[in-house]
Amino acid sequence: MPSQEIGLPIPNIPHAVSVTLPTWEATVGYEEGEDWVVSKMLTGYPRFFIHSVIKKLALKIENKYGRDGERCLIFPSYKVAKRCREFIQSHTELNNLKVRVLQLSTPPPSNEEEKSTIIQSTIGVVFFPISQFPLAKNYWQHSGEGISSRMGEYVLKALFHDGIDSPNNSSNNNNLGAARQELQAQQIQRKSPSISASFRSPSVSAREEVENEFNTFIEQKFGRVLDLKFANEAKIALRRRISGKVDKSHSQKEEMEKARRGKNVSETDVYLFPSGMASIFFSHYALLNISKQPKKSVCFGFPYVDTLNILKKFGPGVHFLGLGDDIALDELEEKLESGEFNIMALFCECPSNPLLKTPNLKRLRKLADKFNFAIVIDETVGNFLNIHVLPYADIVASSLTKVFSGDSNVLAGSIVLNPLSPLYSSLKKFFDNEYEDLFWAEDALWLERNSRDFTERATRIDQTALKVFELLQNSSIISKVYYPYISNSRKYYEEIKTPNGGYGGLMSFLFHNPSHAVSFFNAVNLHKGPSLGTNFTLACPYAILAHYQELDEVAKWEVDRNLIRISIGLENQEELLQILQSSLDIAAASA
């Protein structure tokens, strides 16, 4: 059953991506920084909440290498750490601010046998005055380039012979055999691929279990899939998996046109990143660097919060056309024609999160070709089984954390370069010289395992999502459902939809009475927290969670403060529909 305890990881394992915020009030309390919520947060979404093992590593490094009054953040390379330093120095109000970068490396394996458990890794550590921590944390959050918790755990053990403690509760040890059997059965059957079950005895609370880190043993000892020496093979498999899917055309005509052009995507056009946001960030970074004179970009449509932050805070700035509809497209064309806009790139989501709008990609591509700007498409929400956006993009970015992984236990992203883009040669040269593989070996192993049944899971989620949409659409207390199937922009979605594709597992909705949103959310017996694309259904009050400090501003772009977003999972369809209907009934009966 989904936990309703504040601050527990979702799933209940040490490297979980999401965290439980079970009520509307708890979500507000988290955003307000109220102690009754914040003090219970054992974890959080990794770009916003620095994992405890990374904090522990940072403290060890500060104690050994730091100077008085300094703090540090840790990145997976010296080059990334330098980017963080440049960001701090360019955004601080202090003159002559001293920011140091230290490079540390773990020992390499000394023999062939050690290659299974030891891998040489390098980290870049940025030291800065304590007062600059919020600014440094901004870089961590926006760029998505911080080290992962698994990498932090490995480096902590390798450099300081420290790590996660052994469980000290006897009831946990007594449960070990049963837990192992349950996990093995789950992995074999893959009926619900997430390693999300809480293995607890009646005498041990969920919080004690996490604090004792018993589930660490479940994940590390019994969930390990491959040795570290196979990490490169796992990455090759991932790139091939992505290139094979992303280049699949949705019509015979388009396939023939591709054949005539004679160039398709290969695995060498796919690049892996430590998070989806890192793929957005590096796309922007690459375009800035290949441009003779960097110019502003356009953000077309209301995007996920940090995409807009990247475009605002790195480089010359951004023109924000937040509605992302045909009227906004007319405005874009007029300003391009008049010379008011002279842009480097256009960034958009397909469909957008959380309003599920699909831009007119054909028209955007024509404008890009005419006015010589790049198009970067984030297809995370649609996913490349459902939609084919590559012909309209110079760069396709994805968060592999979401439905591609599904298990909510690894952060990852990808970039696909379009070989037919007029910018391909310039981008390819830049990537060949500047791209670093920062995707941690263990994370790659987990993602490769998780994504093996991506097609089957995505298809099942699409089918259930249509049924959930019908349920919500027919509810008398719901005023609007946001979903590609019902959107005003559906015609543009259909143009890029693959032959067997669906409409994705993400939808948002509003109630006629805002109090019903609170009643519904508090009553619904589902996992509740940030992220999407998980193998379990996941809900959140989206505007409260992502835009609490700017609710009036986002309302201008049709993002209502009472919006609920739901990401459909792999639960039994009838059971999920019953849970939702029951919660709608409770909301309808509330005052």
pLDDT of residue 250: 41
Q: Which of 86-90, 164-168, 248-252 has the lowest mean pLDDT?
A: 164-168
Q: Given this model, what pLDDT does residue 3 score?
A: 86
What is the pTM (predicted TM-score) of this model? 0.88
Mean pLDDT over 442-447 rounds to 96
Would you say 265 and 419 are in contact if contact means Cβ atoms under 8 Å apart? yes
Report pLDDT digits (tens) over 507-537.
999 999 999 999 999 999 999 999 999 999 9
| Euclidean distance between CA atoms 205 and 171, whole angstroms | 11
Are both 52-160 and 454-589 of the same fold?
A: no
pLDDT of amino acid 246: 56
Distance (Å, whole) CA 486 – CA 470:
10
CA distance 346 to 374: 6
Q: What is the CATH number of domain 454-589?
A: 3.90.1150.10
* CA-closest candidate to residue 157, choices 122, 118, 126: 118
- Tens of pLDDT, residues 282-332: 999 999 999 989 999 999 999 999 999 999 999 999 999 999 999 999 999
149 phi/psi in degrees, rounded to 5: -65, -35
Cβ atoms within 10 Å of 571's Cβ, excluding its own: 16
CATH class entry, domain 230-450: alpha beta
Domain ranges within the chain, ordered by starting residue: 52-160, 170-212, 230-450, 454-589
> Please, are residues 452 and 401 in contact by the beta-carbon 8 Å criterion?
no
Structure confidence by residue, pLDDT tens digits, 374-413: 999 999 999 999 999 999 999 999 999 999 999 999 999 9
Q: Who wins on pLDDT, 245 or 222?
A: 245
- Three-state DSSP class for residue 396: strand
Per-residue pLDDT averaged across 12-36, rounded? 96
Query: Would you say 164 and 153 are in contact if contact means Cβ atoms under 8 Å apart?
Result: yes
With contact defined as beta carbons under 8 Å apart, do 91 and 313 qualify? yes
Percentage of the chain surpassing pLDDT 90? 83
Q: What is the pLDDT of residues 49-89, one digit of tens each?
A: 999 999 999 999 999 999 999 999 999 999 999 999 999 99
For residues 106 and 251, which has the higher predicted lDDT (pLDDT)? Answer: 106
Question: Is-contact 43 241, C-beta < 8 A?
Answer: no
CB atoms within 10 A of CB 337: 12
From CA 125, how far away is CA 108, in angstroms rounded?
19
pLDDT value at residue 203: 39
pLDDT value for 189: 34
Percent of the chain clearing pLDDT 70 (strictly above) = 86
The whole-number pLDDT of residue 163 equals: 58
Mean pLDDT of the 471-490 span: 97
> For 100-114, 207-221, 229-243, 529-543, which range has the lowest pLDDT when averaged over its residues?
207-221
How confident is residue 190, by pLDDT bands cut at 50, 70 and 90?
very low
Average pLDDT, the chain: 88
| Three-state SS at 136 | helix
CATH of 52-160, one of 1.10.1220, 3.40.50, 3.30.70, 2.60.40: 3.30.70
